[in-house]
Amino acid sequence: MAATLVRGKNVDIRMWTRPDEVEEFALRQLQNISALPWAFKHVAVMPDVHYGKGATVGSVIALRDAVSPAAVGVDIGCGMTAVRTSLTASDLPDTLRGLRSRMEATVPVGFGQHKATAFTDRDASDWSTFWKRFDDLTPAVKARADKAMHQMGTLGGGNHFLEVCLDTDQRVWVMLHSGSRGIGNELAQHHIAVARTLAHNAELPDPDLAVFLSGTPEMAAYRHDLYWAQDYARRNRAVMLRLVCDVLRAEFPHVAFEEPISAHHNYVAEENHFGEDVLVTRKGAIRAGRGELGIIPGSMGTGSYIVRGLGNPDSFESASHGAGRRMSRTKARKTFTTDDLAAQTSGVECRKDSGVVDEIPGAYKDIDTVMANQSDLVEVVAKLKQVVCIKG
């Protein structure tokens, strides 16, 4: 669909969904974002848009010489990784509970962490250099080095997941969703708090939209820590993917893996749009430059998409990061039961207990509608349906 233009305060808002389908609080947030004096061109709103802390989830914001840490989110570098295997559905056992159990035993979930560090030279060759950079992060997180090391290669909780999927050709895929874990969250919270104290943010309509300005020590400190956390998130997914692939290698010695696809959807990038160099924050959005591969997941019972970007300039070459929530976790827990969860995840080997009712498919927007609304942003490469889903 073509974007709907909504009049903003300083810049306009382009929405790849109907404005009447966006919750009131999210619309108010988008208007606050459009009022930022550093905003460039317009605010791009993805079809999975929903309310978030400070900045709306599903928003792409280009700023001149400024960046808002809340427009990145507190899980810096959160994103997706997927890989297609040589296995087919016929290779999988009739019951997948054992495979799920072995994966859960290998990749810690929720608040769990590895007893011994899990990263190896098979994941990257420069771990020593990477961890030395930890010493240069803000002193506020210096005591977290050991925890960060042991959380490298862990899933987390909430909407993070690890899945085994089948595409329409019955090929097996591994797909996972996670970010920079506790260390990224702590860095984000620290810098959001710093930004709120700066004088140039005093008159903003929402204090959580506070920005750092180029050329200031606060901006330099944030960007240093931000890029390290984004790298942590990318490495975290790579370590998990290798661990899961090792489980499959033990189970299916003949298995082979193609080149993984990996994409952040909570991050900052230095990009050129409409002839100007700007800082682009994607909070709940992936980059979808022409020809670039991306991953757009649905909920734990509905399936996901591998996509190729079309490079639409009006979206700042972006697309949605998933289906997007249509109700809060609290409302989902009040609305649905474990019986509803079991029914909506029928055929998927996964948790079906009260601890994940807030992740029930019914709490999310319809992924196929989301995809239809962004047909001018991405083209579909493959549609996947999960057969195993692991959540924290």
Q: Please provide the DSSP assignment of 230-269 as one string.
A: HHHHHHHHHHHHHHHHHHHHHH-TT--B---EEEESEEEE
Task: Give whole-number Cα distances, 323 to 161, 336, 366, 367, in Å.
Answer: 14, 18, 6, 5
Domain tally, the chain: 1
Instruction: State the CB neighbour count (10 A cutoff) for residue 96.
Output: 16
3-state helix, strand, coil in the chain (%, to 5): 35, 30, 35
The one-digit pLDDT tens for each residue of the chain (392 residues) are: 789 999 999 999 999 999 999 999 999 999 999 999 999 999 999 999 999 987 999 999 999 999 999 999 999 999 999 999 999 999 999 999 999 999 999 999 999 999 999 999 999 999 999 999 999 999 999 999 999 999 999 999 999 999 999 999 999 999 999 999 999 999 999 999 999 999 999 999 899 999 999 999 999 999 999 999 999 999 999 999 999 999 999 999 999 999 999 999 999 999 999 999 999 999 999 999 999 999 999 999 899 999 999 999 999 999 999 999 999 999 999 999 999 999 999 999 999 999 999 999 999 999 999 999 999 999 999 999 999 999 98
- Cβ-in-10-Å burial (0-12, 13-18, 19+) of 173 comes to buried
Backbone angles phi, psi at 307, to 5 degrees: -130, 165
What lies within 8 Å, CB to CB, of 168 at 6+ separation is 382, 383
CA 109 to chain centre: 17
Q: Is 182 annotated as a binding residue?
A: no
Report yes or no on 359 lying in a domain.
no
- Cβ-in-10-Å burial (0-12, 13-18, 19+) of 256 comes to exposed
Residue 224 designated active-site: no
Report yes or no on 119 lying in a domain.
yes
Report yes or no on 347 lying in a domain.
no
CATH of residue 222's domain is 3.90.1860.10
Q: Is 191 annotated as a binding residue?
A: no
Report yes or no on 341 lying in a domain.
no
Spatial separation of the C-alpha atoms in residues 151 and 116, rounded to whole Å: 10
Report yes or no on 309 lying in a domain.
yes
Q: Is 323 annotated as a binding residue?
A: yes
Q: Are 356 and 329 in contact (CB under 8 A)?
A: no
Spatial separation of the C-alpha atoms in residues 145 and 150, rounded to whole Å: 9
Report yes or no on 153 lying in a domain.
yes
Q: What angle do CA 252, 257, 258 make, to 5 degrees?
A: 160
Q: Is 218 annotated as a binding residue?
A: no
- According to DSSP, the residues that pair with 294 across neighbouring strands are 307
Q: Is 300 annotated as a binding residue?
A: yes
Report yes or no on 332 lying in a domain.
no
Q: Is 322 annotated as a binding residue?
A: yes
Residue 158 structure tokens: 């909430």
Catalytic residue among 42, 190, 273, 321: 321
Q: Is 82 annotated as a binding residue?
A: no
For residue 96, give its domain range: 4-326+364-391
Report yes or no on 357 lying in a domain.
no
Spatial separation of the C-alpha atoms in residues 338 and 90, rounded to whole Å: 30
| Per-residue b or e along 307-334, where b marks 16 or more CB atoms closer than 10 Å to that residue's CB | bbbbbbebbbbbbbbbbbbbbeeeebee
pTM: 0.96
